[in-house]
Structure formats: structure tokens, C-alpha cells
């Protein structure tokens, strides 16, 4: 169900085969594992070290950075704050820390109050924490933008079709910690949901917990772990953009047997980009046009309701 794709095939190998395999994954499961992506293993390791150091901070310091301080989805999310499964009402047993583009308070976009153009909140006295996370963030932005070249080709568009629509993207890097299971029936690490944006690039520490629900099924499939590979999945906005040619699939994290860390990167178009059915995806548009920012606002409102 979840294919393994080697990105080196797209960059310097059998480009057409990669595009075809990507297209199959986007249409069938919306999930894939990506190897050959070129992200330095040391950069990944250093980012995980930052996650462990952050979540080990005193609770008072973490709460000082609460996401409720920000209108732009930046900051700390405490355990029991989010409810990703809007239907079941189950509260997620996880904590998280979000950052976005590292803008200064006097950045014109911040001063104008543009959506999702805010100032990151940073913990005090953590050495190279900020530098490490921003380095990883920049690497993820570059990879996500580049992957849109392959998506464009699969959809029969010019390779640079998305360029002007994703050159100032809404993007969030999220550190995640799932505590070991409490053994309480009904607990969930992250409730069943589909992601909001275009692409999610997830790196895990290898601890099991992530599951995917095949479309049309009531069952769940464990996502396998491949060392160094990203778990890539499509979000609802890309499904909407492709007029349902592509699929966004529900997934969840069950309470892990031991403490689990992951690093998620959520990518979607520029805030003012209008998401409407792409050329060649049919004449019957299934969704009304919406801007990237407005769509994200609506989904976050439901999560934190």
C-alpha cells in the first residue's frame, strides 16, 4: 500500500519512471516513503536532539511559549490541547512545538498582519536550537518545492507550473513527542485525520505508532519504517487542487509502547494562492475556489475548537 520511491531517480536517473510511480501513489494511497532525498543524516539527527532537549524543559518554560500566544500557528502545544479527530471527540495524547519562517517583528509582512506571517517563539538558553531548527526548516522547504516539479509533470503540467504559487509558502515545522502509553482504553496519540495542506514530510525515530486507513476500509495499516526515509503524504488542499485526482488519506498515531518522537513538516501554497481545479483535472469542479490561508484557518479552528 505504501511504496518506496527513490528521489535520485527523479534528479539523475529514470525521471519518467519516478513521475509515474509518484502519480500512482498520489492516486491510490496518498502515502509513500521517500529515500534518496539528499537531506544530511546529521542534520536529521541534530533536529531530533533539539526535540528531545525541548520537551525535557520545565513545563513552565514550555507553557511560556504557548501556541495561544500566536495568531500564526507558532509555539508550544501541551498534551490534551488538540483534537485531530473531530468526530470521536478523543483528545490527543501528545505535545508539540511549531515554528515557521523566521521573521522579525519589523518585517513588513508581520507589520501588515498577513496571515501566517508571524514571529516564532523561542526557548531561552538552548544554544544552537534556533539555528538547527531553521536549517532543517529551510531544507524541507527546498525539498517540498522541488517535489512539486514532479507533481506538475504527473498532472500533465509544465514542470515549473507551481513555481510562482509556492515561492512564499505557508510552511510549519513541528516537533512532536508522544509519551508511552498509559494503558487507558480509548487513548489516542493523534486522532484519525487527514492533513490540511499540500505535502507533509515526516521523519520518525522508528518507534511504531503511525497507521494509515486504506480508503474505503474500516481497518488500519501500520506504516513501515525505513531508516532515513521520509514518510510523505498528501493533504486535503492538494486533493482539492487536483479536483480529487489525488487522494488525501486518514491516518492516526496510536499510543506507543515507548516514548516516540517525530518531526513533521507541513507545506502548502502561498497564503494568497487561489486553490481551484488544476488544468486537465476535469470540467466539473468539485470544490469552490479558496485561498491557501483561508483554508488553513478553517481547519485549525476545528482542531482547537
Distance CA 302, CA 305 (A): 5
Q: Is 287 helix (H, G, I), strand (E, B) or coil?
A: coil
- Residue 27 grid coordinates: 492516486
pTM of this structure: 0.96
Mean pLDDT of 195-212: 97
Distance CA 231, CA 200 (A): 8
- Chain centroid to CA 234: how far? 9
User: Cβ(300)–Cβ(71) under 8 Å?
Assistant: no
Mean pLDDT of 103-120: 94
Average pLDDT across the chain, whole number: 96
Distance CA 21, CA 154 (A): 9
pLDDT of residue 264: 98
Closest among 235, 233, 267, 243 to 156, alpha carbons compared: 243
- Residue 71 grid coordinates: 495568531
Distance CA 25, CA 22 (A): 5
- Chain centroid to CA 131: how far? 20
The pLDDT tens digits for 15-68 are: 999 999 999 999 999 999 999 999 999 999 999 999 999 999 999 999 999 999
The pLDDT tens digits for 239-261 are: 999 999 999 999 999 999 999 99
Closest among 132, 131, 169 to 147, alpha carbons compared: 169
Tell me which H or E stretch contains 222.
strand 221-222
User: Cβ(188)–Cβ(94) under 8 Å?
Assistant: no
Percent over 90 (pLDDT), the chain: 92
The pLDDT tens digits for 169-202 are: 999 999 999 999 999 998 999 999 999 999 999 9
pLDDT of residue 226: 97
Q: What DSSP designation does 232 have? A: E
pLDDT of residue 301: 86
pLDDT of residue 88: 87
- Residue 90 grid coordinates: 478523543
What's the Rg (C-alpha) of the chain?
A: 19
User: Cβ(99)–Cβ(86) under 8 Å?
Assistant: no
Under the banding of pLDDT at 50, 70 and 90, the label for residue 305 is low
Under the banding of pLDDT at 50, 70 and 90, the label for residue 87 is confident
- Chain centroid to CA 254: how far? 18
Amino acid at each position: 500500500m505504501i511504496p518506496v520511491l527513490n528521489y535520485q531517480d527523479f534528479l539523475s536517473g529514470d525521471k519518467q519512471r519516478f513521475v509515474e510511480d509518484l502519480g500512482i501513489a498520489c492516486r491510490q494511497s496518498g502515502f509513500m516513503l521517500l529515500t534518496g532525498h539528499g537531506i544530511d543524516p546529521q542534520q536529521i539527527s541534530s533536529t531530533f536532539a533539539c526535540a528531545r532537549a525541548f520537551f525535557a524543559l520545565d513545563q513552565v518554560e514550555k507553557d511560556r511559549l504557548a501556541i495561544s500566544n500566536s495568531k500564526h500557528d507558532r509555539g508550544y502545544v501541551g498534551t490534551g490541547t488538540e483534537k485531530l479527530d473531530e468526530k470521536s471527540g478523543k483528545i490527543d495524547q501528545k505535545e508539540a512545538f511549531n515554528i515557521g519562517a523566521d521573521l522579525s517583528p519589523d518585517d513588513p509582512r508581520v507589520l501588515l498582519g498577513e496571515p501566517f506571517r508571524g514571529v516564532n517563539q523561542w526557548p531561552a538558553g538552548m544554544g544552537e536550537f534556533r539555528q538547527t531548527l531553521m536549517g532543517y526548516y529551510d531544507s524541507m522547504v527546498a525539498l517540498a518545492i522541488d517535489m512539486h516539479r514532479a507533481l506538475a509533470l504527473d498532472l500533465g503540467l509544465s514542470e515549473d507550473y507551481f513555481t510562482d504559487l509556492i515561492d512564499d509558502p505557508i510552511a510549519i515545522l513541528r516537533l512532536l513527542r508522544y509519551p508511552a502509553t498509559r494503558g487507558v482504553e480509548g487513548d489516542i496519540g493523534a486522532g484519525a485525520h487527514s492533513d490540511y495542506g499540500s505535502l507533509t514530510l515526516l521523519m520518525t525515530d522508528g518507534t511504531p505508532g503511525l497507521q494509515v486507513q486504506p480508503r474505503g476500509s474500516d481497518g488500519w495499516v501500520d506504516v513501515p519504517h525505513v531508516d532515513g526515509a521520509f514518510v510523505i503524504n498528501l493533504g486535503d488542499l492538494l486533493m482539492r487542487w487536483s479536483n480529487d485526482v489525488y487522494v488525501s488519506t486518514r491516518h492516526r498515531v496510536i499510543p506507543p509502547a515507548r516514548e516516540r518522537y517525530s518531526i513533521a513538516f507541513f507545506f502548502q501554497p502561498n497564503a494568497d494562492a487561489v486553490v481551484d481545479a488544476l488544468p486537465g483535472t476535469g470540467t466539473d469542479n468539485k470544490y469552490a475556489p479558496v485561498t491557501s490561508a483561508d483554508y488553513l484557518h478553517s481547519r485549525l479552528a476545528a482542531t482547537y475548537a
